[in-house]
Amino acid sequence: MAVPGTFLPPVPILLLLLLCGLGPCLATADGSPGVECVFFNEEYMTCRWGSRETVAANYSLYYWYENRFPVVECKHYLQDQGINVGCHFNRSETIQFLPFRVLLNASLGSRTLEIHSNRMELQDLVKPEAPVNLTIRNVSGNQLQLTWSSPYAKARCLEHSVKYKSNKDTSWTEHRVNGDIFSLPSVDYEKFYTFYVRSKINGYCGSTQLWSEWSVPVVWGNNSTSKGAAEEQLRWFLIHTVLVPIASCLLLLVLVILLVRMERVWVILMPRIPNPIKNFDELFSTHNGNFQEWAGVPKDVVESFKPNYSENICYVSELPPKDSYEPLWEGSNHPPSVTPGSPPAPREHSPYKNSYLGV
């Protein structure tokens, strides 16, 4: 079954379609709700189709009951900044248990849009008033009894919902009740309870999901001492679970910072990488790289490594093979092609090319 009273498509969207020329006239449309009708405590009814965001157009509403014509225009429009956004029905204009239909006319310039409704019945749109005169009675055996009365005339057609919570609870507990009495067994006298009640037409007299507003609350229990105890508990809770850990963390942080800042301690924890350059500083600055001198090697030892003979350099070369045979010269002190007085060509792996010879 469709949700009662919420059966028309959004009016602004339909008007935009009208402006775009996608159809000046639409039959009964399904989809998202547009006009919402609520029958308040069976005393008066309002049907609303717009708000401030509604497209500025001329709206007119017509209604009729099946089997009871004629079609009647709304006698009392609800307006918002000069635009009709709803219709108010008096009790005399409402009939329950009879199919009720609505036709909304929206005209913009020369074009008119007609929006037809589905069939609905007003008993399914009733929203009763909130219960009143909530009273708590203490019965034997730690049991509380909550009673109330309803401004709605036919109390037997109502079902109720009670929600309650103590000062120690974090969430509300909700119970459905058919009559007008609710019992709460095993209450704690140290706690402080709060109760709310609301009403709805039951399934025997209608088919609606419209609950009334919550009633004015009623309270029971020990308010003052429990309040102080709660504050005391809250204070201890803050100290134990919030302040102490934070203070500990701050202290730790301070110690770490001090530790890092004190170099003596830091050096022990993080020793420096040794740099041997200081030990060899004198070698390069005073002795100019002379290792023997820096090391303190005696002069006679240094001299003993110097050669006390001279030896002529023997140049040995091998000529590449050619067509004509040419004799090779070996171990001769007179190379054939060398000009006297010219320096010999350097060899790669000559054992005599070193600093000891002074060449």
Partner 1 sequence: MKRTPSPKQSVARDKKAFFRSIFRVLPLLLVLSPVNPSGCAMGNRTAEIRVKYENILSHDIDELVNMSAEYRDRCCKNKKQENSKVFFCNDTQEVGSLQTMACNMLRFFHKQKLGRELRRKAALVSCGTLQVLQCRCERLRKEKVCVQVNTYHREDTETGEQSKKKCNQEFCELKENISSLRSCWNKFEKIISR
Residues that bind partner 1 in the complex, under the rule CB under 8 A? 1, 27-28, 30, 66-67, 96-98, 118, 121, 123, 154, 156-157, 203-207
Per the DSSP assignment, residues forming a β-bridge with 13 are none
Contact 127, 210 (CB under 8 A): yes
Please give the backbone phi and psi of residue 195, each rounded to the nearest 5 degrees, phi first. Answer: -125, 140
By beta-carbon proximity to partner 1, the closer residue of 37 and 74 is 37
Backbone φ and ψ of 352, nearest 5°? -95, 0
Beta carbon nearer to partner 1, 103 or 218? 103
Torsion of the alpha carbons at 20, 22, 24 and 25, rounded to the nearest 10 = -150
Minimum distance of partner 1 from residue 95's CB (angstroms)? 10
Facing residues of 45 across strands?
Answer: 39, 89
Separation CA 181–CA 200 (nearest Å): 15
Q: Tell the smallest beta-carbon distance from residue 242 to partner 1 (Å).
A: 53
Let me know: does 123 contact 107? Beta carbons within 8 Å.
no
Give the containing element (helix H, strand E) for 13. helix 11-19
Question: Which CB sits closer to partner 1, 128 or 206?
Answer: 206
| Sequence-distant (≥ 6) Cβ neighbours of residue 335 within 8 angstroms | 315, 317, 329
Closer CB to partner 1, 203 or 344, in the complex: 203
Q: How far apart are CA 8 and CA 33, in angstroms?
A: 5
Contact 148, 215 (CB under 8 A): yes
Q: Which is nearer to partner 1, 29 or 38 (CB)?
A: 29
Angstrom distance (rounded) from CA 100 to CA 307: 133
- Residue 203 Cβ vs partner 1, minimum distance, rounded to whole Å: 6
Q: Closest approach of Cβ 9 to partner 1, in Å? A: 14
Residue 5: exposed, middle, or buried by beta-carbon count in 10 A (0-12, 13-18, 19+)?
A: buried
Whole-angstrom distance, CA of residue 40 vs CA of residue 89: 10
**What's the closest the beta carbon of residue 29 comes to partner 1, in angstroms?**
10
Report the nearest approach of partner 1 to the CB of residue 188 (Å): 36
Minimum CB–partner distance for residue 153 and partner 1 (Å): 9
* In the complex, least distance from residue 206 CB atom to partner 1, rounded to whole angstroms: 5
214: closest CA among 271, 139, 164, 169? 164
